[in-house]
């Protein structure tokens, strides 16, 4: 059993992937090949409502965040509010452009950034908010967008874990001024290497985003903005494009079915994911809170069932951010979650027999203890 069975996911699109990659080898345009523009058109159309969004395919989810910050003109002297309970890319890109990450606590039930805490942290230096759609569910964007409008702030949606999820009928990747996602292999729509994308409805911002990821130029040797090499290559674009149809037509629904089946079986024994009204969940991870996370991990390991912890050490406790004023604060909901959560094996093709074995192992461990309480 695999924690995320990438081979099983590949098998459902193998023929399409092989054909798409062969075309790249045939035409030999490994950078800026037609596959890149086809992928951008496909994803922009998928996310668009009345009209497609601008989509810029990039080298990674981290590059997508950095490009968004640079294109919005965020840099030294600016503050950007984000969550300490996520992968480091969200905060490190803020620091890499010269701005200051400002951490605020999460909601205890969804693990997403708490809008109330966001508004408390706003100062005259605040320029943007980066909410993370953690584990595959979106935070309260109605509240976050209202706060941003009230205070004149930008929102960068970090949808690395949520591509395919929705909130009140709006797809992940359509919130804020600009949104980013990742095609890291373990993500809901994963490539076979690094890759990412940036989305916006703003034409000028899209132009700047494309320039930022292409050495700051619109035309060769005409550089109008400071940029870097952040392009998505043709092979990665071909793989993601080949996988997309199956992801859209089958895997989104399957992921929700597997998640619902887990929750129904486990809800009396552990704290299962809370899905907020109006949200759908894509389950980048299926994350629970048992009575004793480490003890359950050992039981699962003994039964040859993999598990993982996201995230053991919050960002405000990382040495690289120890100089930040907010690093000296306590974020109780974040710190509690970091000590208690554990993620179970999950992918859209997880068999019922494997899922039953996982559920049985969890229940056998938890059955002598009352349900964990937040």
Segment 282-301 shows an average pLDDT of: 96
Segment 169-175 shows an average pLDDT of: 97
pLDDT score recorded for residue 51: 82
CATH architecture classification, 250-366 = Alpha-Beta Complex (3.90)
Segment 14-29 shows an average pLDDT of: 97
How far is 92 from 88, CA to CA, in rounded Å?
A: 6
Token pair of 183 as six digits: 């095609």
Please say whether the beta carbons of 314 and 84 come within 8 A.
yes
pLDDT digits (tens, 9 = 90+) for 54-65: 999 999 999 999
How far is 13 from 189, CA to CA, in rounded Å?
A: 12
pLDDT score recorded for residue 218: 82
What is the pLDDT confidence band of residue 172, given thresholds at 50, 70 and 90?
Answer: very high
What is the pLDDT confidence band of residue 369, given thresholds at 50, 70 and 90?
Answer: low
Q: Where are the beta strands (DSSP E) in 196-281?
A: 196-200, 217-219, 222-223
pLDDT digits (tens, 9 = 90+) for 41-50: 999 999 997 7
Is it the case that residue 74 has pLDDT exceeding 80?
yes
How far is 297 from 136, CA to CA, in rounded Å?
A: 22
What is the pLDDT confidence band of residue 374, given thresholds at 50, 70 and 90?
Answer: very low
Q: CATH 3.40.640.10 residue ranges in the chain? A: 6-241
Please say whether the beta carbons of 145 and 309 come within 8 A.
no
pLDDT digits (tens, 9 = 90+) for 115-156: 999 999 999 999 999 999 999 999 999 999 999 999 999 999
Is it the case that residue 34 has pLDDT exceeding 90?
yes
Please say whether the beta carbons of 217 and 15 come within 8 A.
no
Segment 343-364 shows an average pLDDT of: 97
CATH architecture classification, 6-241 = 3-Layer(aba) Sandwich (3.40)
Closest by CA to 34, choosing from 238, 309, 250, 280, is 238
Output the pTM of the full model: 0.95
pLDDT score recorded for residue 366: 85
pLDDT score recorded for residue 245: 96
pLDDT score recorded for residue 148: 98
Q: CATH 3.90.1150.10 residue ranges in the chain? A: 250-366
How far is 171 from 47, CA to CA, in rounded Å?
A: 6
344 forms beta bridges with: 286
Helix 352-366 × helix 293-302 angle, to 10°: 130
Q: What is the CA radius of gyration of the chain?
A: 21
Segment 230-257 shows an average pLDDT of: 97
Buried b (16+ CB within 10 A) or exposed e, 188-223: bbbbbebbbbbbbbeeebbbbbbbbbbbbeeeeeee
Is it the case that residue 370 has pLDDT exceeding 60?
no
Token pair of 357 as six digits: 């074995």
């Amino acid at each position: 059993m695999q924690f995320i069975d990438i081979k099983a996911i590949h098998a459902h699109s193998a023929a399409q992937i092989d054909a798409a990659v062969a075309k790249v080898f045939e035409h030999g345009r490994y950078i800026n090949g037609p596959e890149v523009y086809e992928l951008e058109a496909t994803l922009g159309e998928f996310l668009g409502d009345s009209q497609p969004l601008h989509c810029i395919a990039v080298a990674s989810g981290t590059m997508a965040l950095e490009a968004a910050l640079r294109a919005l003109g965020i840099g030294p002297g600016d503050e950007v509010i984000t969550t300490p309970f996520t992968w480091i890319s969200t905060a490190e890109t803020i620091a890499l452009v010269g701005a200051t990450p400002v951490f605020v606590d999460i909601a205890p039930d969804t693990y997403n950034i708490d809008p109330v805490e966001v508004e408390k942290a706003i100062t005259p230096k605040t320029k943007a908010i980066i909410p993370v759609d953690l584990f595959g569910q979106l935070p309260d964007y109605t509240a976050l967008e209202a706060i941003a409008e009230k205070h004149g702030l930008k929102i960068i949606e970090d949808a690395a874990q949520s591509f395919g999820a929705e909130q009140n009928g709006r797809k992940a990747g359509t919130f804020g001024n600009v949104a980013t996602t990742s095609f890291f292999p373990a993500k809901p729509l994963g490539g076979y290497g690094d890759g990412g994308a940036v989305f916006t409805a703003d034409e000028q911002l899209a132009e700047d985003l494309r320039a930022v990821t292409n050495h700051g130029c619109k035309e060769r040797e005409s550089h109008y903005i400071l940029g870097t090499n952040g392009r998505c290559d043709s092979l990665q674009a071909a793989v993601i494009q080949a996988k997309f149809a199956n992801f859209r037509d089958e895997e989104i629904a399957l992921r929700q079915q597997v998640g619902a089946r887990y929750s129904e079986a486990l809800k009396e024994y552990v704290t299962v994911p809370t899905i907020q009204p109006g949200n759908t969940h894509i389950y980048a991870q299926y994350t629970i809170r048992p009575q004793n996370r480490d003890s359950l991990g050992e039981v699962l390991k003994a039964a040859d069932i993999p598990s993982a912890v996201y995230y053991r050490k919050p960002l405000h406790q990382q040495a690289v951010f120890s100089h930040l004023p907010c690093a000296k604060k306590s974020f109780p909901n974040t710190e509690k979650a970091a000590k208690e959560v554990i993620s179970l094996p999950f992918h859209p093709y997880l068999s019922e027999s494997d899922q039953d074995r996982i559920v049985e192992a969890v229940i056998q461990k938890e059955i002598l203890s009352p349900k964990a309480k937040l």
